[in-house]
Amino acid sequence: QKEVEQNSGPLSVPEGAIASLNCTYSDRGSQSFFWYRQYSGKSPELIMFIYSNGDKEDGRFTAQLNKASQYVSLLIRDSQPSDSATYLCAVKNQAGTALIFGKGTTLSVSS
């Protein structure tokens, strides 16, 4: 069974700080990696995806991928209370047909 692991949290950071969310995956053949944000009672929405080793930046968000270590992370700079949500890491299976989700990390940003 392919697995995606995340710390459940909660991860608490003050407003303006950097929030660091981490994810490890077991399938070494995985090629595509995703971060979804889910507000309480709402559906998941895609924040970023990353395919290549290294960093990918989009506004205040940076995704980092290290395939050798099977590790994906999401950094949120200048965290805002509106960033308070559960962040889901997802990895596409080797067949490329389905996403495997981690259990999510709950982030709380205090003002």
Q: Which residues bind another protein (CB under 8 A)?
A: 8, 32, 34, 42-46, 49, 88, 90, 92, 96-104
Closest separation in Å from C-beta 111 to another protein:
27
Report the C-alpha gap between 12 and 9 in whole angstroms. 8
Report the C-alpha gap between 21 and 36 in whole angstroms. 12
Q: Which residue lies nearer to another protein by CB, 32 or 108?
A: 32
Residue 69: count other Cβ atoms within 10 Å of its Cβ.
9
Closest separation in Å from C-beta 99 to another protein:
7
Beta bridge partners, 75, equal 20, 62
Q: Which residue lies nearer to another protein by CB, 4 or 19?
A: 4
